[in-house]
Amino acid sequence: MATTDTPHKNVLFIVIDQLRADCVHGALADHVNLPNLQALMAESVVFKNNYSVTNPCGPSRVSLLTARYAMNHRSIRNGTPLAHDTPNLATEAAKAGYDPMLFGYTDTSQDPRAYPEGHPALTTYEHPMNGFREVCEMRLEESHGWRADLRAKGYDIEGEDLFDIFRVDTPDGQPPRPNDPALYKAEDSDTAYLTNQFLEGMKDKVDQPWFAHLTWIRPHPPFNAPAPYNDMYDPASLPLPERLSQEEEKNFHPYMKPLHNYATIASTVEGFPDLDSSDGSVQTLRAVYLGLATEVDHHLGRVVSWLKDSGQYENTLLVVTADHGELLGDRHAWGKLAPFKGAFHTPLIIRAPGTKSREISHFTESSDITPTILDWIGTDIPASMDGRSLVPWLQGETPEWRDFAYSEFDFGNPIDPTPWQKEYGLNQSNANCAILREERFTLVHFADGFEPMLFDSEGKGELENVAAKPELTGEMLRLTQKLLSHRMKNTDHLLSTIMITKDGPVNTTRPRG
């Protein structure tokens, strides 16, 4: 267990929705102003090769909070239930005496076995995860408090479409543009509202240990930002997405054609159903995305200032990450349902009291975050959790560590067939893939229907599939065996470390490696 000399231990776990890692260290970092994140990074341990273990939103947050791979928790799409008795960050923190507070959302689909028929919890994928006390509801498709706040301030948000609230406010006499400002002011945005609610809800939590999970929706689509964030960045100044020509992308791999039909550029913004995919449109939405990231950064600064001003900065574990990335035009695609780096590579910044800043290049996974928090507060890590504690890294050590990152995702749907199912006749059981990322090679293995992808960072990286090159047959075999071994070693450990004996159950420790 980890120990500190702080008078009491607070935990603030922040998740920024859909923030790419290269916004804080990478190709986009030089083009976006994130002063508060950068200042935090300067005094934190920064894990530069952190990857989400699954996508999209609901599954990724389940893995974040349960520390389980999707192959084990199987809440594999928005709307797929999570078993109600799954140990998670909140349930385990409660065992250590905390009252885990939620400001925002976890996107957890509830287990119908635990609720009576007709219960409201069974009508939304955005329900809070078991164990959290929802202090401020801020769900993308609900957000009742924020909407009431806007109505009280005189905003016209009574459109028939739920997402009409994210329409642009175009000046009179002008043709509408995707980067026109939102209909609400920056001080009234969803990000501002949630931050206000957090600061108000926490103002009396100074003299007692507390545990809070704060989750901002932005820069998740719809890409619609209030002034001045809507046109803060010049689209022409931004680097173009990583991509081949549209024709080359269509022929790159069978997965690509349905991907381009699954989430179009028009699906990322409200009110522009016929938005073209020209470079001008692409760069405009990339600029709005960066503006939304800067807005979040501003409010992160408010939170950090509160921690410092209230004298709690030096006894609070502060963790900042994202649930997953965003393709943002990479490969002429949008969203996150693809095996490429932009969809999975996420920032991970951890500031623990008494630790020195450093950068870690070893691979870490989103499933490592919950074990790290539990280790730091001094409570047991359940055998069900697949991730490993990062506390040794926080303490300045260099532990024996994995040399790869593992991810997976499903792209099927049991009641509404996806473009991949329609195109290739797949079903919900074989429409999935697993990804093994090493320093040089990345293997993408599909359950059925597709040949694998193999990327070589010493070549063209993700822009070339080298799986069929004869000289790499040995690497394909090695990586496939490594992937299989990893899955075999990490199959469900919920109860497998317990033995029933004549003297009763005997618990053993799960080996993690």
Report, as residue numbers or ranges, the catalytic residues: 57
In angstroms, how far is CA 240 from the centroid of its own chain? Answer: 23
Could you tell me the two tokens for 153? 């301030």
d(CA 26, CA 33): 13
Classify residue 32 by its DSSP letter. Answer: S
Q: Is 364 exposed, middle or buried (0-12, 13-18, 19+ CB in 10 A)?
A: buried
d(CA 100, CA 377): 13
d(CA 454, CA 476): 8
Could you tell me the two tokens for 87? 């140990």
Could you tell me the two tokens for 333? 């695609």
In contact, 336 and 343? CB cutoff 8 Å: yes
d(CA 58, CA 64): 10
Quick check: helix, strand or coil at residue 418?
coil
d(CA 126, CA 140): 8
Quick check: helix, strand or coil at residue 384?
coil
Q: Strand 100-104 relative to strand 133-137: parallel, antiparallel, unpaired?
A: parallel
d(CA 184, CA 166): 9
Q: Is 468 exposed, middle or buried (0-12, 13-18, 19+ CB in 10 A)?
A: exposed
